[in-house]
Amino acid sequence: MDPSFTAYYVAELPLQSSIRNFLERQRRFQRNLAVVSSGGTTVPLEKHTVRFLDNFSTGRRGAASAEYFLESEYAVVFLYREGSLRPLQRRLAKLVTDPVTVLVSEGHIKEGVASFRVTADAQAALVQYERALKEERVLEVPFCTVYEYAQYLELIASASAVFERNAILYMAAAVSDFYLRFEDFKSHKRTSDSALVLKLSCTPKLLDLLRELWAPQAFVVAFKLETSMETLHERAQLTASRSGAHIMVANLLHERHHRVWILENGRMEEIECPESDTEIEKRIVEAVIASHRCYLDADR
């Protein structure tokens, strides 16, 4: 990797030992592993950061997918952007933002206070996540910057290489395509006395490094988002060919919550879910797990 990028790396990551201990525990229990990355990455413009580049990702796809991997008995490392949606919490957040989707009226009022219960869907999610926590089957790892994300990803992927084919690397995070070279980084707030001109460099192709160096036998799932149908399938094919990803999930920005295309072995399959139906992430994870089982069977 470019030294100007790795110059941002720290000597030791905060959760380094926790990650290694968690993965060792899952190995002892002979569990399949899913590493799910989620949310967007920032590119700070100053050391004492006031300004930074960001993207719109909320982390919905990664958080939902992590829940469905847990439901399927996978151990999950959830590498997520601080402040983005997380498994289970994303459902409870609706108590504030959209309570009618989580709470059901009991139909009576006592002393002026209405009685409500949590919907069956939310209850099931609570029970599932509580069980995963008790079984120590989920580890959440927060990041903020693209540099933190890359360093954590290298650590987690390299440490999970011992799982060989039993690991899925499900790369749903929206990773910054560009970064500011270390020599152009400022220690303090940039002045607003004149126009700001930045020269950004291309972020290293982390997806390629997963198969080439860090976890060469893991089952890799990548994501491609575009705004034009004319470029979507072509760029998905190119990224899959370059990186060696086993599955590429491609989607358009405006319909990402209800339609995707699954590219596998050169074949493109469309998955569509009406917004009133089940979450499309459930269908994506089901397809990924089915392919992962075939991948495991091929080694037997």
The domain spans of the chain are 3-10+17-86+120-297
- The DSSP output letter for 210 is I
Question: Using an 8 Å Cβ cutoff, are 174 and 41 in contact?
Answer: yes
Instruction: Please report, to the nearest 10 degrees, the dihedral formed by the alpha carbons of residues 86, 87, 88, 92 taken in order.
Output: 30
pLDDT in tens, 28-86: 999 999 999 999 999 998 887 778 888 888 889 999 999 999 999 999 999 999 999 89
Across the range 4-9, mean pLDDT stands at: 94
Write down the pLDDT at residue 14: 92
Distance CA 280, CA 271 (A): 8
Distance CA 219, CA 214 (A): 12
Residues 6 or more apart in contact with residue 185 via CB below 8 angstroms = 8, 44, 45, 46, 47
Across the range 90-98, mean pLDDT stands at: 64
Whether 277 has a pLDDT exceeding 80, the answer reads: no
Q: What is the pTM of this model?
A: 0.88
E strand spans, 134-186: 138-143, 167-171, 178-180
Say if residue 41 is exposed, middle or buried (CB neighbours under 10 Å; 0-12, 13-18, 19+).
Answer: buried
Write down the pLDDT at residue 97: 63
Phi-psi sector, 165: left (phi>0), alpha (psi -120 to 50), beta: alpha
Q: Which CATH number fits domain 3-10+17-86+120-297: 3.40.50.150, 3.40.50.10300, 3.20.20.70, 3.30.420.40?
A: 3.40.50.10300
**Other CB atoms within 10 A of residue 256 CB:** 16
What mean pLDDT value characterizes the chain? 88
Q: Which residue has the tokens 């084919």?
A: 165
172 falls in which pLDDT band (50, 70, 90)? very high
